[in-house]
Amino acid sequence: MITKDMVQADIDALPVNYKTADVDRLIRGYVKEKLDLSCLREYVLTEQQFHRIYFHGTLKQIPDADDRLRWLDGNLLFSDWWHTDQCIDFVKDADIQKALSYARGYVLSDDPFIRRWGYVMFISKLCRDEAALDAILSLLHNDEHYYVQMAQAWLIAELAVFFPGRVLPWMRDCALTYSITGKAIQKICDSRRIADADKERFRALRAERKKIGRS
C-alpha cells in the first residue's frame, strides 16, 4: 500500500522545476498499478504537490462518470481555481440531472471554489443539453468573489456558443450585476465559436446591463 512519504519520495525524484507532464507520468504509473491514493486526502489542502495526484490518480480509476461525480461530492477539497477546473473533464459524461442536483448545493456554499465548481462542472458536453438550459441558467446568482464571477461568465459564454438565441433574452432580463454580465459579454465577444452577428447582439446589451450597476 502506498503512503504519503512514498509519494513525496516520487515527487522529490522528479526534475528540479518539474512540470505538470512530469506529475502526470507519476499518476499514470499509480493508475496502472491501481494504487489507492486515499492516504493523501488529508494533505491536499495544505500541501499542494499532492492535489493533482490525489484527484487525478483516483478519478482515473473510477470508470463511471456518475461515480466520479459522487466521489467528487465527497472530496470538495478545492483550494484554487486551477485545481478546481482540472476536474471538469471527469464529469463531462455524467447524468445531467444528477449533476444539477449536486450543483444546486455547490453554488450556495460558503467556499468560493466549491461555488466555482458548481458552475465550471457544466463547461463540457453537459451544457449542450438544451432541455437542461433553463435549469443551468437558474443556478446563476449574484456573487462577489472574483473567481466565482469568472466561472459564471465562462459558463454563460459557453452556453451562448450553443444557444445564443435563448441566452440573449435571458441575459437581457436576468438579475445579475454587470460585474458578471459584463465579463460574460467580453468572453462572448472574444470567442471564436460565436458568430459575429450574435456577438453584436450581445455587445449591444452592454449599456443596458451597466444601468443595473456593479457589485
Q: What does the alpha-carbon distance between residue 9 and residue 24 come to, in Å, rounded to a whole number?
A: 15
pLDDT for position 50: 98
**pLDDT averaged per 10 residues, the chain (length 215):** 96 96 98 98 97 98 98 97 97 98 98 98 96 98 97 98 97 95 97 96 90 62
State the Cα–Cα distance between residues 112 and 38, nearest whole angstrom: 24
Q: Return d(Cα 61, Cα 209) in angstroms, integer.
A: 45
Instruction: Give Rg (Cα) of the chain.
Output: 19
Q: Cα separation of 79 and 82, whole Å?
A: 9
Rounded Cα distance between 203 and 181, Å, is 11
Among candidates 36, 48, 110, which has minimal Cα distance to 79? 48
Q: How is residue 32 written as a grid cell?
A: 496502472
CA distance 75 to 41: 8
d(CA 147, CA 133): 22
pTM (2 d.p.): 0.95
Q: What's the pLDDT at 212? A: 73
Q: What is the pLDDT of residue 213?
A: 62
Q: How far, in Å, CA of 37 to CA of 9, rounded?
A: 14
Q: How far apart are CA 215 and CA 69, in angstroms?
A: 32
Q: What is the pLDDT of residue 210?
A: 84
Please, what is the Cα angle at 167 between 205 and 70, to 5 degrees? Answer: 135
Q: Give pLDDT, residue 215.
A: 45
Alpha carbons 90 and 146: distance in angstroms, whole number? 24
